[in-house]
Amino acid sequence: MTKCPKCGYENPPEAKYCLNCGYKLIQEERERFEGSGLLLITSGTILIVTFLFNALLRVFSLLAIIYVIFGITSIYSGYRLYRGPSSLADLILASVSIIFGFSGTLFLYIIGLAFKGLVTPDWIIYLIATIKLLTDRKKLKNALKMGNVSHNR
Ligand SMILES: [Zn+2]
């Protein structure tokens, strides 16, 4: 018997939720993505630092602002991944950050090489983050399932 800490109802031991009041008896651990999360935070930070320097050294461009925004988004979604994404929106934001971070920094890398401009190999980190997240597919599914469970309650 598992006594509900909220209402005191005696539940069968296998119960996940209190049969009387619906209180969650087993506090499930949220799936965490420490690796991908840290990679996103790192690449986001590099992005911001690089472009702040770029902005100081050259004419401050609109492009720099856009990439700083991407940097901030990367850090935020990386943090959510690290802590354990709690919603589909967290996972979508992380995917968007990775996709734009990768394509954007790769584009700039090529431009930088061609015009001897600013070269940042940040895209490599985004690429690793993508691979890391792809290898965590199973965990992603679990995270989504858990999100659904808590959503229905
Ligand atoms: Zn209860």
Q: Is 116 exposed, middle or buried (0-12, 13-18, 19+ CB in 10 A)?
A: exposed
Going from the Cα of 3 to the center of ligand 1, the distance in angstroms, rounded, reads: 8
Q: For residue 152, how far is its CA from the centre of ligand 1 (angstroms)? A: 17
Report how far ligand 1's centroid is from the alpha carbon of 16 (Å). Answer: 11
Rounded Cα–Cα distance for residues 79 and 45 (Å) = 12
CA distance 97 to 73: 6
- State how far the Cα of 76 lies from the Cα of 94, in Å rounded to an integer: 9
Q: pLDDT tens digits, residue range 87-125?
A: 888 888 888 888 888 888 888 778 777 665 556 677 888
Q: Which residues of the chain have pLDDT under 70?
A: 27-29, 54-63, 114-120, 145-153
What confidence score (pLDDT) does residue 146 get? 61
pLDDT at 75: 94
CA–centroid distance, residue 96 to ligand 1 (Å): 40
- pLDDT value for 55: 63
pLDDT the model gives residue 117 = 56
C-alpha 80/C-alpha 90 separation (Å) is 7
Write down the pLDDT at residue 78: 92
**Residue 44 · residue 71 · CB < 8 Å:** yes
